[in-house]
């Protein structure tokens, strides 16, 4: 595992963008696994900037997003599909038929989850998976107690997650209580993983996940045994790693 501690969020975002840039230049039809939330916003801004400067072409890049809330229409401002459109897709040249985001509004969820797994495999797997980390150690929406061999499925969100994510909604009650997420084994199958962490409120969980004993109670600890993980933290999040 490689750990990079950057002096600020801007540097973290630029370094993450460097990894994506190298990957996309090396393989124009790269398969990227993307996350939502506050942490990758700077990375997406940086990718948009590099696209506008004509350094990057995303026309052949394939995207698989980690997760989606259940019950929000795709055009709801807090749906992850909307988030990705707003921050990245509407400002770059990703092709809509190369973008896959789990649907939170499907009738047959188990069929949809199997379809998502098959789709990832059909593109030869994910080249780089971007992750953020929840304060409870979740990655994607794999909450504590998620099995290390879990695959894409429907999950119930933890109270901590609902509370943390309520900052984006009008109230705690308005936050969806269930989501569809890639599983831990799905994430672990990615060829390379980049875990981003920013801010003081991530320093404890980041240190515990990377250095503490690996356990299903701490989902991010699965990353300790992956063959190619790069952790990019800013100073604040990396405080307990040095």
User: In angstroms, what is the minimal distance from the CB of 77 to ligand F6R?
Assistant: 15
36 lies in the binding site for ligand F6R (CB under 6 A): yes
Q: Which of residues 147-186 bind ligand F6R (CB under 6 A)?
A: none
Please confirm, yes or no, whether 136 is among the known catalytic residues: yes
Which is it for the CA torsion 169, 173, 175, 176, positive or negative? negative
**Residue 5 in tokens:** 């501690």
Q: Of the candidates 42, 102, 140, 238, which one interacts with ligand F6R according to CB under 6 A?
A: 140
**52-60, 96-104, 137-145, 147-155 -> range binding ligand F6R (CB under 6 A):** 137-145
Q: Of the candidates 66, 155, 180, 218, which one interacts with ligand F6R according to CB under 6 A?
A: 66
Please confirm, yes or no, whether 57 is among the known catalytic residues: no
Q: Of the candidates 132, 137, 183, 238, which one interacts with ligand F6R according to CB under 6 A?
A: 132
Task: Report in angstroms the alpha-carbon separations of 218 from 1, 43, 173, 200, 214.
Answer: 17, 25, 26, 19, 7
Task: Report in angstroms the alpha-carbon separations of 122 from 6, 118, 161.
Answer: 36, 6, 32
Task: Say which residue the tokens 């109670």 belong to.
Answer: 217
Mapping DSSP to helix (H, G, I), strand (E, B) and coil, where does residue 167 land? helix
Please confirm, yes or no, whether 216 is among the known catalytic residues: no
C-alpha span between 71 and 49 (Å, rounded): 33
C-alpha span between 143 and 7 (Å, rounded): 29
37 lies in the binding site for ligand F6R (CB under 6 A): yes
Mapping DSSP to helix (H, G, I), strand (E, B) and coil, where does residue 57 land? coil
138 lies in the binding site for ligand F6R (CB under 6 A): yes
Return the number of other C-beta atoms located less than 10 Å from residue 70's C-beta.
20
CB closer to ligand F6R, 23 vs 36: 36
39 lies in the binding site for ligand F6R (CB under 6 A): yes
CB closer to ligand F6R, 139 vs 206: 139
Chain residues in the site for ligand F6R (CB under 6 A): 35-39, 66-67, 132-134, 138-141
Active-site residues: which are they?
Answer: 67, 136, 138, 143
């Amino acid at each position: 595992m490689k750990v990079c501690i950057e002096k600020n969020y801007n540097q973290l975002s630029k370094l993450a963008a460097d990894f994506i840039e190298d990957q996309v230049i090396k393989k124009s039809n790269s398969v990227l696994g993307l996350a939502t939330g506050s942490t990758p916003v700077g990375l997406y801004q940086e990718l948009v900037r590099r696209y506008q400067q004509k350094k990057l072409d995303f026309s052949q890049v394939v995207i698989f997003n980690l997760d989606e809330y259940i019950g929000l229409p795709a055009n709801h401002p807090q749906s992850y599909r909307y988030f990705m459109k707003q921050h990245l897709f509407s400002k770059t040249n990703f092709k809509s038929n190369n973008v896959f985001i789990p649907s939170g509004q499907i009738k047959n969820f188990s069929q949809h989850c199997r379809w998502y797994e098959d789709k990832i495999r059909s593109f030869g797997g994910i080249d780089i998976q971007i992750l953020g980390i929840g304060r409870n150690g979740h990655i994607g929406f794999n909450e504590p107690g998620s099995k290390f061999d879990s695959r894409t499925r429907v999950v119930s969100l933890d109270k901590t997650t609902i509370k943390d994510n309520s900052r984006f909604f009008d109230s705690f009650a308005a936050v969806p209580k269930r989501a569809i997420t890639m599983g831990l084994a799905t994430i672990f199958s990615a060829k390379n993983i980049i875990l981003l962490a920013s801010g003081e409120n991530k320093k404890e969980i980041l240190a515990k996940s990377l250095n503490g004993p690996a356990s299903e109670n701490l989902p991010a600890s699965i990353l300790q045994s992956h063959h190619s993980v790069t952790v990019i933290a800013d100073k604040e999040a990396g405080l307990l790693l040095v």
